[in-house]
Every structure is written in C-alpha cells, then in structure tokens.
C-alpha cells in the first residue's frame, strides 16, 4: 500500500470496518490472533492492543510488512509477529489460532479458495472465530465504483451467491456463515477521496466520479458514503 494511499484510507475506510471485525472476533486474553493480508496494519493494531494476546500478521508483500512494522511501533504494539508468506500456504500449525481475520485482502490473494481453506485450517476447531470482510457488489460500494474499481477483484465475491460458493469450495460450509455489514466512510471532500483511492495521483478528478459521488456530498462539502461489506464469520466458542 503506497504511503499516501495508506495514510488516507486507513482512518476513513479500513479502520471502521476493522472495528466491526474486531468486535465480531471478540478476542480474549491469551488468544493467538492471525491476520491475513495486514491491510494498513489495522487488524494487528486492533487485535494486539492487549499485552495478553499475540497477533501474527501475514503478507506476501515485503513493503506491506515494513509499513506495518513502522505503524505498530508508532502505536506501541509490541506483541505482534510479522511473517512474509502467501495466504494459501500459511506457515502455521493446525488449530493454532483462536482468531483469524482478513480485512478486504482475501479476494486479492493468488488463490482465494486455498487461502480461506488455510485460514480455517489454522483456526481452533473448538473455540476459533473467523472474521473476514470483502467488499460487496459495485452498487453498494460507491467510493470504489466511482474510482472505476467495479470490475476488480475487490468485488469478485460480493455478488449474490459468490461468497457462499467460495465458502463451499474451501470446505467451510458447516463452520462459516455469510452476512453483510454497513458503515459510512467519510472524506473531507472530493479531493480527499481522490487522493485516498488513487494514491495521490496528479491526474485530475474524473468528471464521472464527481457525478457518482455528488449525492453523498454534505452541506459542508464533506463526503459521507454508505457502503456494504460481505462478512464471513464463525461463532464457535
């Protein structure tokens, strides 16, 4: 994640949904937590708040892990281990984690089905909680659709039945439920939104994007955009 892109997206978009996942996973003292993707270091920061928990963050991208290391150091999160590995081949033993999360990273893995299968393998079969968020279909994610991302992998599992099929392919039908959550992402204005989603590109704001987002412009010029995420979760205790 590019530095500017990450700094702008984390507080406006990633953290609100990360808090949903953290609440869903409800980590307890002594839990081992695994986050796959380490997007913006959001989940390791949320899950690693307590010194009684270990959070293992996994990404196949060295820059992502370097950025996460810096962010966690700034936040004084000391009990996080950062591992470089592909999500479809996690170097972790079976059932080692009580919490496994992925914040919008699963569709971007080289093999999402195998990645979900690995996440379930590492999850404690008796007391494990899985919490995975993926963007919903384009019409329910205006802040991405306006940027031209409606055909990308972020939406691959947002269409009706797609997430259920993913769970079935990964062998998780008996353990995993599919639901949807809603939140509002906020930006200081159209320029702030464009810098966040486009990574600070010098290209001018597309006219089509401004048209799509106009209904979400508040009287003070800020953007308040409702959006939806598909959530895969277990509720086993």
First-last CA distance in the chain: 34
- The region of weakest confidence among 104-113, 158-167, 201-210 is 201-210
Give the C-alpha separation, 112 to 62, whole Å: 20
CA-closest candidate to residue 168, choices 157, 159, 176, 160: 176
- 198 or 163: whose pLDDT is higher? 163
> What is the rounded average pLDDT of the residues 191-200?
82
Does pLDDT of 201 surpass 90? Answer: no
Q: Assess contact for 225 and 142: CB atoms under 8 A.
A: yes
Give the C-alpha separation, 12 to 10, whole Å: 6
> What is the rounded average pLDDT of the residues 225-236?
90
User: For the whole model, what pTM was predicted?
Assistant: 0.92
Fold category of 3-185+227-233 in CATH? Rossmann fold (3.40.50)
Sheet of 99-103, strands arranged across? 80-84, 54-59, 32-36, 99-103, 129-135, 223-233, 177-187
Residue owning tokens 């004084």: 76
């Amino acid at each position: 994640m590019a530095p500017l892109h990450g700094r702008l997206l984390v507080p406006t978009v990633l953290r609100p949904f990360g808090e949903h996942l953290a609440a869903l996973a409800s980590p307890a003292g002594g839990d081992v937590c695994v986050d796959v993707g380490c997007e913006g270091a959001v989940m390791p920061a949320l899950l690693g708040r307590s010194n009684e928990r270990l959070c293992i963050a996994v990404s196949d991208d060295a820059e992502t892990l370097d950025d996460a290391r810096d962010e966690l150091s700034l936040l004084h999160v000391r009990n996080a281990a950062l591992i470089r590995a592909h999500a479809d081949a996690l170097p972790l033993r079976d059932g080692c984690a009580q919490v496994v999360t992925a914040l919008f990273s699963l569709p971007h893995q080289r093999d999402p089905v195998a990645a979900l299968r690995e996440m379930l393998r590492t999850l404690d079969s008796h007391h494990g909680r899985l919490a995975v968020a993926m963007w919903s279909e384009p019409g329910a994610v205006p802040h991405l659709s306006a940027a031209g991302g409606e055909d990308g992998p972020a939406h691959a599992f947002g269409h009706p039945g797609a997430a259920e099929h993913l769970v079935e392919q990964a062998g998780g039908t008996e353990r995993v439920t599919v639901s949807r959550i809603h939140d509002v992402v906020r930006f200081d204005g159209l320029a702030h939104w464009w810098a966040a989603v486009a990574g600070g590109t010098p290209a001018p704001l597309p006219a089509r994007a401004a048209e799509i987002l106009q209904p979400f412009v508040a009287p003070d010029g800020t953007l308040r955009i409702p959006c939806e995420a598909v959530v895969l979760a277990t509720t086993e205790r």
